[in-house]
Structure 1
Amino acid sequence: MKLSFGSKNTLAAYVFILPTIIGFVVLVLYPVASSLYHAFTEWSGISAARWIGLENFRYLFEQDPTFWPSLRATVYFVLLSVPSGMVLGLGLAMLLNRRLNGVRLFRTIFYLPVVLPSIAVLTLWKYIYDPLYGLANQALEALHLPTSGWLFSPTMAMPSIVIVGLWGVGGTMIIFLAALQNVPAEIYEAARVDGAGSLRLFFGITLPMMTPILLLQLVLGLSFAFQAFNQVQVLTNGGPETATYLFMFKIYQDAFGNYTQLGLATAEAWILFVIVMIVTAITLKTSSMWVFEDNR
């Protein structure tokens, strides 16, 4: 059966959706189209853009001395931060998913770093990592353990940044905690009657039932990790050498550094977009092999 609307109703519908359409065109469609165009231009942001075709991409892949090191540093950061964040978040959620006195207080304490201003937190960690006066080395000295150069060491700089990210794992913990509380208690009771132990309950029930949330957290974690910027900007400025020269920091440097190259930076942004899309597509495509679908 077809529904017909009068001209006044149709006009009113267009009027109501017009702000959304205008907002989408002005704030989403036009910027995306403009950035795609400028990726193929030589553009400083002030002078007129000059079309140069694939020259930006050719320069990045063949001549730019920081392009491949920044990609390697970014992949290293992703491989360190995403799995460790998910494991720690799940571990905390398991510990706090118990009916104990004061458990709500501990949930709040672990979640608190998430709502603190990131720049202030990173500045605090910069002082903690100070090789001479920082709290990290003082604690190691008190325990009679070897100290570290932390952010000034090419081998320890990236792990140090990852540790800062783990301090704010409360957001992941809360989502995993909600997923744990959504697992039916009857399943655990039936498994215990059959003699299942703690490990079997975790790997046979808890983990499979949480796989949709694990997939969500994995996709979000990969996306955020590839776009990490604040940590490098505040803590290391890309150093030492190129140990923490993440790709988003390179985009920022090319766009707003000593030599403004917005056309080149836009090309880099599109490369990053393609990388994130490919990684996300692979993750979603392979998720059918390990994500448990609850069809209750």
Structure 2
Amino acid sequence: MANTYPRQAGESAASLKPARKRGRGRVTPYLFIFPWIVGFLVFTLGPLLFSLVISLFDWPIVGQVHFIGFGNYTEMFTQDPLFWKSFGITLKFAAIFVPLNIIVAMGLAILLNQSTRGNAFFRTAFYLPSVISGVALAMIWSWVYSGEYGILNFFLSLVGVQGPDWLNDTRWSLVAMVLASLWGQGAMMLIFLAGLKGIPKDLYESASIDGAGTLRRFVSITVPMLSPTILFNLITSIIAAFQQLTLALVLTGGGPMKSTYFYAMYMYENAFKYFRMGYSAANAWFMFLIVLGLSFLVFKSSEAWVFYEGEMKRKPKRNARRRSG
């Protein structure tokens, strides 16, 4: 009996060491992500919640703050014609830019996916505009679009076409914004290119043996296998369209006659020109809800047209059961 208690005490002390090590092992991963959590709370979630709060206030930069509830939202919808004008222009821009962005990026990716010489050079050349700053990009396009010495009108004159004053003509200013925005789709092109590299070549070879032509292979193999990539790029294009600001701010300042007065510019001016921080925050939350709603609709529709490799489709089975019943 005299030797029992020391042995039990030694065993209990020994059993505590692995438990302490396990406890430290559980804490260690959280220590690694702790800086990111702090940064997310301070620089992302905190400002996000603060903007929601100030959207309920009359919040000038200098002056007294007043709580007005949903007054900013009421004014935005019922008393501010610039809100509807800028929102309509942004919707029109998005309706043109988003499909063209997908088509151009996918087309370039398909061309660069061919095994030809010089592909590395062209990939770099097409990707380079996406890493140029927005202001530098706008300065380049201001030279391209210049009515007097612009390179675009110069090439048009070579074929006998008199080019318009792109940035000062209300009929062409929005088109000019779309074309300039398409020039920076290099990152999206690389995403499509990565998706194309993931398509097994056996599928194309089998389809060729069965007599499928180029168009048939594109419709039946390339598009379905790229559909998850198309979904991702579609969402990012919608977000980019609603955030369009720098090009219009530098090239036209929203003109001529506010034909390029995008919603992001409207929101920017309310904050930093008229110093109405609460009203601008309400503008931002409306844009957030619109983008969220459009993204939700795209995700819901993706159930009908997005194909994931190895996924079993449930809808045909349900239809078959209904028919058999």
TM-score computed with the length of structure 2 as normaliser: 0.85
Q: Would the alpha carbon gap of residues 5 and 237 (structure 1) be closer, same or farther in structure 2, given more than 3 Å must change?
A: farther
| Structure 1 residue 116 displacement after superposition | 2.1
Q: Which residue is equivalent to 1:198?
A: 214
* Preserved contact between residue 38 and residue 49 of structure 1 (Cα < 8 Å): no
| Structure 1 residue 65 displacement after superposition | 2.0
| Structure 1 residue 107 displacement after superposition | 1.5
| Structure 1 residue 48 displacement after superposition | 3.8
Q: Which residue is equivalent to 2:63?
A: 47
| Structure 1 residue 5 displacement after superposition | 5.8
- Return 151-160 or 25-34, whichever deviates more: 25-34
| Structure 1 residue 33 displacement after superposition | 1.7
| Structure 1 residue 28 displacement after superposition | 2.5
> 5 Å matches for 1:34-73?
34-73=50-89
1:164 aligns with 2:180: yes
1:250 aligns with 2:271: no
1:230 aligns with 2:234: no
Q: Which residue is equivalent to 2:290?
A: 275
- Return 6-15 or 202-211, whichever deviates more: 6-15
Q: Which amino acid aligns with 1:265?
A: S
Correspondent of 1:82 among 98, 107, 130: 98
Q: Would the alpha carbon gap of residues 138 and 177 (structure 1) be closer, same or farther in structure 2, given more than 3 Å must change?
A: same
Q: Which residue is equivalent to 1:23?
A: 39
Listed one character per residue, the Cα deviations across residues 21-77 of structure 1 (whole Å, up to 9, x for unaligned) are 433332223212211110011111233421011111111111112000100000011
Q: Would the alpha carbon gap of residues 209 and 53 (structure 1) be closer, same or farther in structure 2, given more than 3 Å must change?
A: same
1:284 aligns with 2:304: no
* Preserved contact between residue 208 and residue 292 of structure 1 (Cα < 8 Å): yes
Q: Which amino acid aligns with 1:264?
A: Y
Q: Would the alpha carbon gap of residues 48 and 211 (structure 1) be closer, same or farther in structure 2, given more than 3 Å must change?
A: same
* Preserved contact between residue 42 and residue 51 of structure 1 (Cα < 8 Å): yes
Listed one character per residue, the Cα deviations across residues 148-170 of structure 1 (whole Å, up to 9, x for unaligned) are 12111111101101111122222
SS at the partner of 2:63?
coil
| Structure 1 residue 105 displacement after superposition | 1.4
Listed one character per residue, the Cα deviations across residues 137-158 of structure 1 (whole Å, up to 9, x for unaligned) are 2221221013212111111101
Matched residues, percent identical?
37
User: Partners of 2:93 and 2:257 in 1: how far apart?
Assistant: 16
TM-score computed with the length of structure 1 as normaliser: 0.93
Q: Which amino acid aligns with 2:305?
A: W
* Preserved contact between residue 39 and residue 56 of structure 1 (Cα < 8 Å): yes
User: Partners of 2:293 and 2:19 in 1: how far apart?
Assistant: 43
Q: Would the alpha carbon gap of residues 265 and 101 (structure 1) be closer, same or farther in structure 2, given more than 3 Å must change?
A: same
User: Partners of 2:290 and 2:265 in 1: how far apart?
Assistant: 16
Q: Which amino acid aligns with 1:108?
A: T
Q: Would the alpha carbon gap of residues 5 and 238 (structure 1) be closer, same or farther in structure 2, given more than 3 Å must change?
A: farther
Q: If you compute each CA radius of gyration, which structure gives the higher value, 1 or 2?
A: 2
Q: Which residue is equivalent to 1:209?
A: 225
> 5 Å matches for 1:88-237?
88-237=104-253
* Preserved contact between residue 232 and residue 238 of structure 1 (Cα < 8 Å): yes
1:263 aligns with 2:249: no
User: Partners of 2:310 and 2:180 in 1: how far apart?
Assistant: 39
Give me the CA root mean square deviation: 1.9
Q: Structure 2: 5+ residue runs without aligned partners? A: 1-17, 312-325
User: Partners of 1:271 and 1:16 in 2: how far apart?
Assistant: 36
Q: Which amino acid aligns with 2:298?
A: T
User: Partners of 1:85 and 1:152 in 2: how far apart?
Assistant: 24
Listed one character per residue, the Cα deviations across residues 97-151 of structure 1 (whole Å, up to 9, x for unaligned) are 1111112212221112112222112112112211122222222122101321211
